[in-house]
Amino acid sequence: MRIAIISDIHTNTKAVSAVFETIEDSCVDEVWSLGDWFGYGSDNATNFWLVIRDNLNRWDLINRPVNCVLGNHDLALLDKKILYDFNVKALGAIHNQWEQLENTEIWMEEIHPWLHGLPYVLSPLPGIYISHGSFRMNNILDAVLKYTPNTSSHEISYRQLHQWIETKPELNNCKIICKGKGWEKPRIFIAGHTHEQILWQRRIIGNTYKWEENEESRISEHFESRTYQRMEALVWSTPIQPTLDQPIWLNPGSVGDPKGMNKGFWDKPWAQFAILEFSKDKESKVEFHWVPYQ
């Protein structure tokens, strides 16, 4: 099974169109989105939605379920009360997009119902959990709003999700959805929000633990800087062996506004996403994709 994972599109029509095209050529079975379709980008929000809608419909027509969770910028379009925590650029983008969408038919009949129906946390497959930012279950809004940039924040999410599962919650409560027969303890966490493509794994060392970065997830480990200057897609992969005590944490990067690039990248636009692959016959792996666009 191959699953394409996208996040943080941020109203970048050219970037997401390039990623959609690459996904179509990548033989994937499902597409998962970690949210933040809107915000930041300067493209017209209505025109951007038409691109998103057509692609979502196309995936459904070819039997590729799309599993989406809500991002903090998407939530800001629904609830302006969370804007107090936004920076000036983010605040301006949301206000501009709200002015473009407010009281329009496409907002009231399509975009608002779709965003409002997205969960904050989703378990699309047993032992796999996706959210936009974290898995801090003590306050479910934190799943959308909180960043998970380092080992201590990974561990907080790990422990809170475990504790939450032990309470034996309902399978579907609107904002936290399990698509299987029951909640299973996590082996794979998937979240975006930081815009930085990276893979972590929790390691047990004696009587303690450590979340270690997988260096193979860094582009600099696979391509020399001169390769970055060419307008061609870059793909590399790393094997994974997640367990209950030693789960992985995957951030697929950002489609519309990637971070963590070396200086050589900035003279050309790139979009990031990842593919998670499971197989009974060979080892599981994560593919990291960088897609150029113009």
Phi first, then psi: give them for residue 25, nearest 5 degrees.
-90, 5
Domains in the chain: ranges and CATH: 2-292 (3.60.21.10)
Q: What is the reported pLDDT for 263?
A: 46
Q: What is the reported pLDDT for 171?
A: 67
Name the E strands within the chain: 2-6, 30-33, 66-68, 121-125, 128-131, 176-178, 188-191, 198-205, 208-213, 234-239, 248-251, 270-277, 285-292
Q: What is the reported pLDDT for 168?
A: 79
Q: What is the reported pLDDT for 232?
A: 79
More confident residue, 250 or 267: 250
DSSP string, 82-119: GGGG--HHHHHHHHHHHHHHTT-HHIIIIIHHHHHT--
User: Could you read off the pLDDT of 184-199 as tens digits, one per residue?
Assistant: 999 999 999 999 999 9
**Of the segments 93-97, 165-169, 216-220, 264-268, which one has the largest average pLDDT value?**
93-97
More confident residue, 266 or 131: 131
Q: What is the reported pLDDT for 219?
A: 77
User: Could you read off the pLDDT of 120-173 as tens digits, one per residue?
Assistant: 999 999 999 999 999 999 999 999 999 998 888 999 999 999 999 998 777 667
The two structure tokens encoding residue 173: 């409560």
Does residue 226 register a pLDDT over 60? no
Q: What is the reported pLDDT for 261?
A: 57
Does residue 62 register a pLDDT over 70? no
Q: What is the mean pLDDT of residues 28-48?
A: 94
